[in-house]
Amino acid sequence: MAKQKAIIDQALIDKLFPHWLEIRRDLHRHPELAFEEVETARKIMAELDRLQIPYEYQGKGGGVIGRITGKASAHVPIIALRADMDALPGTETSGLPFASEFPGKMHACGHDAHVTMVLGAAALLQENPPPGQVLLVFQPAEESGGGARVIIKSGVLEGVRAIFGGHVTHHYRVGEIMVAEGVITAQSDSFTIHIHGRGGHGARPHEAIDAVVIAGFLITAVQTLVSRETDPLHPSVITIGQVEAGSAPNVIAESAVLRGSLRTTLPQVRRHLHRGLRRMVKALAELHGAEIDLQIREGYPPVINSPAETDIARRAAVEVVGEKGVMAMEYPSMGSEDFAFYLQKLPGCYVRFGARKQEEEYIPLHSPAFDINEGVLKVGAAYFAAVAWEALKRYEGG
């Protein structure tokens, strides 16, 4: 009972909440892009100093790793809590009094909230030391570059039994936590198609090989890989997000570049779509007498929550928001998350925190108008503290 009061006691959380607001708003006002999170790291270290939590800083492009030792012994279990630090390129339109002061950069994905939640959990765990060690992983570059791999490569996760993370979302309301086992997010790959035709005058198309026409064929054709060649029960998405071609209205373009992304949840579907892209590129090159180069780059793997750790996360979520506040997930998200790299190395669970700002308002992640209901900071801090306790109790004694 003492543990419950120390971790989830609303009076304690309410007392700490104004400070958490200051942290989150300061981070929101001063966003930094992937691998540039130097000032963000400095602010995290200042808070860890205030809490008297030891840490190590891996330097620019690396993470801040705090360590709470609730029970000093070489054989106690260790679990990790992860927060991502980076912001996104973009111009904020939220109108907040603490909106980004850095043009072209903003926290449009809620990572400022994630950092605050884990710092909040650290404060709660300092009030009531857990039966084991808690690693606080403040990670760079989730949005691009896969900063999780930097953390893994550093070796700081050696000996860690499990890792837990989460993400704010407007799909749920404050006081709701989505917890699910298995596939949570999709595999994400990107591709670039370079089309090399033959330029010419707009009045003499027979003398040219029009890269724009070929690009148009490809933009339409690749969608049939999903709509006509993939089982509708197997989620998959192909998106052409960038098209570059042409220099003037009366000039037939000699070259074009298409850039896109491919998202799947099943390995066999991913392989089929890769083969299909290569087949279509080869066929259209032959059809039009052009040269077409395709490059596919492997992205983040799917996030797959392990069964035992999902059970731990669900118990912690119930402790924080009650049975009615724990939400199931009917279908995996087609988004991607580099938390998946951790789950390839050790078990863990990734949840989602409801953060809708107003009852019926939905603003998607990465929108220039994105913001959160800051009440989610209380939920997230309590959850991370509770999941640390729940996991360490489960692992204690082997």
Residue 237 parent element (H or E) = strand 236-245
- Match 């089929």 to its residue by tokens: 272
Percent pLDDT > 70 in the chain is: 96
Whether residue 65 sits in one domain with residue 23? yes
Whether residue 93 sits in one domain with residue 169? yes
pLDDT of 382 reads: 97
Q: Which residue, 298, 324, 356, sits at the end of a domain? A: 298
Residue 124 domain flag: yes
pLDDT of 311 reads: 98
Whether residue 177 sits in one domain with residue 93? yes
CA separation for the pair 20, 119 (Å, rounded):
8
Residue 87 domain flag: yes
Under-50 pLDDT residues of the chain: 1-5
Contacts of 231 (CB under 8 A, 6+ apart): 269
Chain center to CA of 240? 21
Whether residue 306 sits in one domain with residue 293? no
Segments forming the whole domain that contains residue 358: 2-185+302-395
Range list of H helices, 65-172: 111-127, 147-154
**CATH for 105:** 3.40.630.10
The SS3 of residue 47 is helix
Residue 160 domain flag: yes
Whether residue 202 sits in one domain with residue 136? no
pTM, full prediction: 0.88
Whether residue 172 sits in one domain with residue 251? no
Whether residue 306 sits in one domain with residue 292? no
Whether residue 242 sits in one domain with residue 99? no
pLDDT of 330 reads: 80
pLDDT of 213 reads: 97
- The C-alpha angle 100, 27, 367, rounded to 5 degrees, equals 50
Q: Which residue, 254, 278, 298, sits at the end of a domain? A: 298
Q: Structural domain tally of the chain?
A: 2
Whether residue 240 sits in one domain with residue 152? no
Whether residue 367 sits in one domain with residue 309? yes
How long, in residues, is the chain? 398
Q: What is the pLDDT of residues 183-199, one digit of tens each?
A: 999 998 999 999 999 99
Q: Which residue, 298, 327, 351, sits at the end of a domain? A: 298
Whether residue 306 sits in one domain with residue 294? no
Residue 169 domain flag: yes
**CATH for 277:** 3.30.70.360
Residue 190 domain flag: no
| Closest C-alpha to 100, from 29, 40, 22 | 29
Whether residue 362 sits in one domain with residue 263? no
pLDDT of 5 reads: 46
